[in-house]
Each structure stands twice: as C-alpha cells, then as structure tokens.
Amino acid sequence: MRQSQATGTQTRHSIVVPSRTDDLLRGLTEAVGGPLGKYTSPGATNSGFFTVERVLILMAAVSALIAVMSKSHCRTVGWSTPDQQSTMCWSVFPNSFVDDKLGTLAPFFSQGSPFDHTVAAGWMAWITAWMTGSAGDGALRQLAFFDLNAALIAVAWIATVVVVARTAGRRVWDAAIVAASPVLILMAYVSWDFWAAALVGAGIYLFARKQILWAGAFLGVAAQAAPYPIFIALALVFLGIRTGHVAKMLHMVAVAVIAWLLVLAPIMAGNPEAYGHYLRSLWAAEPTESSIYGGINLLAGRMGWPSLDLAATNTIAGILLVVLVVGLVTLAIFAPQTPRVSQLAFVAAAGFMVLNKGAEPWHAVWLIPLLALAMPRWRPVLLWQAAIITHFIALMLFRSKVLGDISNQHAIDTPYFLIAAMIGAVATWIMVGLVVRDIFAPEYDVVRRGGVEDPQGGVLAAARDESTAVLEASLKALPEAALETGVETGADTGPGTGAGTGAEPRVPTSFPTHSIERSGQ
C-alpha cells in the first residue's frame, strides 16, 4: 500500500538537474566536484537558505554588475564616436538623451520631439529623464540617465530569471541560461529592448498559470516595446485552433489589443501626430546594416551591383513576414505532436528578428528567456550566443570605420562585417531548425523526455490530440491486460519502475506514440 502523508504536510517534488543530463555542464562541473550525485534528490529536501531561486537571483545580480562594468570606459570618459563603438560600450540610452533632447522634450508628447523608438521606450525615456532632472546638466545628467535605465533593466533581468524559473516547471535550473547569459551581459544595457523580453516572459508565465486575460494584457504592452509579441500572439491563436481553444485565445488577443491601446491612448489624446510620424518613419527607414536587406545593399555597393530600393525592401520584408506566419500555422496545425508554447513562441520571435528590416544583434535579448524554455541545451545555446556576440562586436568595429573614419587597427571593413552578420543570422536559423526538429521528433526534446507534455501549455495542455488520447487509453488498459495474462504489475521488472514497492507502474501518459516507437521504449 502507498503511505499517505499527514494532513497539512507539503509535498516536495524533485527537480531536473542539468549537470546530470547536459553533456556540456557535466564536463564543466568537474572543476567543482563533478555533477550532483545520483542519490541526491534536489527539490525533495529542504536546501536551507540557498534555494534554487535565490542562487539564480545571485547569478543574475552578479551578471548585471558585470554588464555595468563592461560599460565603465564610457561611464568614465563619456560616449563619443568612434570611441564608444571601438570600446564596445555604445548604448542607445546616453546617445538618445542627447540626440532626442530628452532633457527638455518628452518623447511623443512634446511638439517636435525627434524620438524614433517604440512607444514603450518613449514612456521609459520620459520617466527616467524626469527622474534624473536633479542630476544637473550635460554629461553628469547623461550618465545618471544611463545608470538609472541600466538599474531598472537589472531589476527586470532578475525578475525575468525568477519568472522563467517558475515557468519551467521541474526544470527550474534552466533559468540559469537567462541569469548568466553572455548576450545579456554584453547587450542588456544597449537599448530598451529587454523590456519587451521581460513582459513577454511574464505573459508566458501567466499563460502557463491559465491566467489568459492577464497574459494577453502583458503581451499587448510588450507589443508596444517591440513588434515580435504580435507574432507570438498569432502563434497562440494557431495552437488554440489545433487544440479546440480558439475562443479563449481570441479573448486573450482582444485583451492584448485593449492593453496596447491603453498604452497608446495618452499619446493619441495629447499629440496624435507624433505617433503618425513614428509609423511613417518606420516605413521610410532604410534597412539596418545587420538586416538581410542592408547586408545585400552593402555587398551590392562593394561589388558595383544595383541595390534594393526602399520600396523593394518593404515589399520583400512584408512577403517574408507573411511566409513566417504561414510557417507558424503549418507548425501549429500539422506537426505530429502539438508544439509546446515556448517552442512556437521562440520560432515566431526568432523569425521576426532575422526577417524584419530593422534587425540588430541586440534584438537577441528577446530570445534568451524563450530559448531557456524552448530548448534548454547549453552547448547550442552558448554557441549561438557566441555567434551573436561576434556579430555585435563586428557591427561596433564596422561603425567605427564608417562613422569615425579611423584606422583598421580599431575598426573593420565591409567584408568582415558581412561575414560576422551572416554567422549571426545562420546561427539563429540553426537554432530555429533545432527547435523545429524537437517539435517533429519529440524524443530530442529534453523537456518532453520525462513525459512532460508542456509546462507552459496552460489551458492548451489540457487538450489532447486524437492520437495522444488513443495512446492514453491503451496505456490505462495495460494493468488489466497484465492481470488477464497472469503478469504481476508489481513484479521486479528493473529500476525506475516502482519495482518491489507495490507502486503502480509509472507510464508517460502524455508522451507521443511516435516518440515511444523511436526511442525503443
């Protein structure tokens, strides 16, 4: 018989330990004594003060401090071109403070404000500029503006680590991918883009907790910080179509639209022309050097070929984004197993990052929390981040050459930048390919290996494909069939099956049929 717990006791569940399951981490932990022993049960016993979350918070705090230290040169001598590019301490914050006249103009509200960033970035710029009003003028206030924005992002970074840990289910240590991310250490303070990542992370967490309307609200606000949450919302609608919860997903989208409008409403009431200018500037903006289209134009200029004009760029980018939506529909509807929420969200965000004409290497901060949930495998994640960092460094050195006209000792020419940009884009597509592979072959998915369907699925996880339902029914019938054939289910059949304990056999009732066949189970 099973032993029942006393009333009022709290059940503790063991957690997944990456140093046991991840090949790279298993080797890296040798310097500190090797992976955790097989007889330990983390999460099932009281760990004292240093819980997993507290260790992750400490890791994120140390990373945030290192990120500030990496900008120490510019914090000391100021942000001047090309010095800020060649020393890798360039940031939108101090440059926007000067270029957009944030000391005197409120983005989107003041007449003649030159602010060309997103609406959410405008709100953050206005609030932090107002808060630094007592810091003086000139370089001193510019430094205070950078420090305050960096501090707020550090808080958002730590909060995102906690959110990812709580969203990951039993794989709480996967949040270390966010806490100790080299990309975030180098680029979290480059722009306001991490706010979108933090809001999307909170939205995914709420979605996993079946708080659909609140999830929609966070995604709607996130869409004012960066456009990619729109594609994540579409991906959730497509999953709702497959699982029969499309009405709930449409309710979520409706709330997202309301939240999006609420963020925009004060601007439309006070200075509606400012938002119209912002939209026109997006349409009229030339492609960035790091985008596919900007790279083609750089190559064309180098080779003497005709370049893409703005109309062609907008048309091609629009078509490719439509192709991305079609790809999301195909994955959501026709994959053998329903994709996990974080998997499809990552494909949506990564696809937008590479295909839009405003692509920048620091947009990779959007992907870090999603990647920790979609494919928490350290080796490919670190290799991808190395490629993104290479792209960022090359962009800074290339801009040193273009903007500062300095010697090649502190800059690089076009061919080297294009190679680095291509490496970053190809690495991102490889990560998308690996996630798609995990969708079509779930035996490669480290999250599903333990029989877990989708920790972020929320209401969608309650739905089952017809094939999964048939498998579940057949597996439930196994004990009855065993009794009819005289097989004792509590027999000693080997380790990990509850042998000799009188426990019922543990069956991964939500594991896909084809993955069981492929793994030989």
Helix axes 229-243, 341-355, angle to 10 degrees: 140
SS3 359: coil
Q: Give the span between the Cα atoms of 72 and 309, in whole angstroms.
A: 40
Q: Report the sign of the C-alpha dihedral through residues 337, 343, 345, 347, in that order.
A: negative
Q: How far apart are CA 470 and CA 186, in angstroms?
A: 49
Nearest Cα neighbor of 192 from 260, 79, 97, 92 is: 92
- Of 292, 300, 262, give the one whose Cα is nearest residue 422: 292
Of the CA atoms within 13 Å of residue 406, those in its CB half-sphere come to 17
Which 8-state DSSP code applies to residue 30?
G
The two tokens of residue 15 are 């957690």
The answer to whether 237 touches 328, Cβ cutoff 8 Å, is no
Residue 133: Cβ-neighbour burial (10 angstroms; 0-12, 13-18, 19+): exposed
User: Of 143, 45, 37, which is closest to residue 89 (Cα–Cα)?
Assistant: 143
Could you tell me where the DSSP H helices lie in 409-465?
414-440
DSSP structure class, residue 271: -
pLDDT in tens, the chain (521 residues): 333 333 333 444 567 666 666 666 655 555 544 565 554 555 555 566 778 999 999 999 999 999 999 999 999 999 999 999 999 999 999 999 999 999 999 999 998 888 999 999 999 999 999 999 998 888 999 999 999 999 999 999 999 999 999 999 889 999 999 999 999 999 999 999 999 999 999 999 999 999 999 999 999 999 999 999 999 999 999 999 999 999 999 999 999 999 999 999 999 999 999 999 999 999 999 999 999 999 999 999 999 999 999 999 999 999 999 999 999 999 999 999 999 999 999 999 999 999 999 999 999 999 999 999 999 999 999 999 999 999 999 999 999 988 876 666 678 999 999 999 999 999 999 999 999 999 999 999 999 986 678 999 999 986 554 445 544 454 455 554 443 433 333 333 333 333 333 333 333 434 343 333 333 33
Domain extents in the chain: 52-75+84-459
Rounded to 10 degrees, the C-alpha dihedral 488/492/498/501 comes to 80
Spatial separation of the C-alpha atoms in residues 299 and 305, rounded to whole Å: 8
- Cα distances (Å, whole numbers) of residue 428 to 179, 180, 373, 386, 434: 20, 19, 16, 11, 10
Burial class (CB in 10 A: 0-12, 13-18, 19+), 7: exposed
Give the C-alpha separation, 443 to 215, whole Å.
29
Helices within 335-445 (DSSP H only): 341-355, 367-374, 378-404, 414-440
Give the type of residue at 181: S
Q: Which two tokens stand for residue 357?
A: 């004409």
**Alpha carbon distance 159, 199 (integer Å):** 10
pLDDT at residue number 521 = 34
Alpha-carbon separation of residue 443 from 17, 310, 347, 514 (angstroms): 19, 45, 19, 9
Rounded distance between C-alpha atoms, residue 333 and residue 465, angstroms: 11
pLDDT (0 to 100) of residue 19: 60
- Distance CA(346)–CA(385), nearest Å, equals 15
